[in-house]
Amino acid sequence: MPLDIVVLQDVRKRFGDTEVLKGIDLVCRKGETTCIVGGSGAGKTTLLRLIVGLERATSGHIFVDGEDIVPMRERDLNRVRQKFGMVYQYAALLDSISVLDNVAFPLVEHTKLSPAERRARVVEKLRALGLDESVLEKFPAQLSGGMRKRVGLARALMLDPPIVIYDEPTSGLDPLTSRAVDELIDETRRGFGVTSLVITHDIASCFRIAEQAVLLNAGQIVARGRPEELAHGDNAVAREFIEKSLVDVDAITRQRRA
């Protein structure tokens, strides 16, 4: 059975007099995909920043691979942050440098590899994600949206992190490209053995890729379970949220099982 790799216990976050997260309990298991869904203002981004140590929880515990990061000093936090690969909403590539330099950036920052060794590592990751050496000298503006996603994912995987976090990975994409990104997330989980944590408002994406779906509303988890359990379970809030998305979740579930 998978082991717990990210565990939150009664996590609260307050900004001034406003409590943004109100007692979050969450378990993400190794090798699985957890999707955190919710509307705007639900607290998804704040929760993400707490998990990767970019913000500190006001109270509670956040265990990453067995270590509680809430009381950690910055030096130890920097070490734990390397357990995460981040894939941002619009790939967040640096437009002024090549694909090679974009993907190699974590190696420059955190290793002492030679330029030739860095290039070899970059080529290896790109090939694993379906891209060849022809993209190395291109600039991000010369790539399609799907290729930029793959390059961003290659960069996130360069330090072989056990956890990959995706921040709204399908936002702004057409349905076909969104489907391709979902397949990429699932292929990466299986091919690299990573745990995936996906922050999204995309219900269709959640039903395609998630072992665990978590519905966040007004700073609280109001439902959790397999996506189909949220769609057809006893939780009225979850059922209403999914129904309002106007997504044919049963069709997606049948496709996934096929």
Taking the chain (258 residues) in runs of 10, the rounded mean pLDDT of each run is: 87 95 96 93 93 96 96 93 86 88 93 94 92 94 87 92 92 83 91 94 92 95 93 90 86 77
Look up the domain containing 59 and give its range.
1-83+197-258
Residue 8 in domain: yes
- The pLDDT assigned to 47 comes to 95
Q: What is the pLDDT of residue 144?
A: 85
Within a domain: 93: no
Residues forming a β-bridge with 109:
none
pLDDT at 177: 81
Number of domains comprising the chain: 1
pLDDT (0 to 100) of residue 248: 86
207, 247 in Cβ contact below 8 A?
yes
pLDDT for the residue 1? 47
- Give the C-alpha separation, 112 to 117, whole Å: 10
Buried residues in 78-103 as b, exposed as e (16+ CB within 10 A)? eebeebbbbbeebbebeeeebbbbbb
Instruction: Indicate the residue type of 151.
Output: V
CB contact at 8 A, 183 and 130: no
User: Within a domain: residue 127?
Assistant: no
Domain with 16 in it: what CATH number? Answer: 3.40.50.300
The residue type found at 112 is K
Whether 68 maps to a domain, the answer reads: yes
| 16-24: long-range pairs with CB below 8 Å, 24+ | 19/58, 19/219, 20/46, 20/219, 21/46, 21/47, 21/50, 21/57, 21/219, 21/220, 22/218, 22/219, 22/220, 23/60, 23/220, 24/60, 24/220, 24/221
Task: Tell whether 122 is covered by a domain.
Answer: no
- What is the pLDDT at residue 11? 98
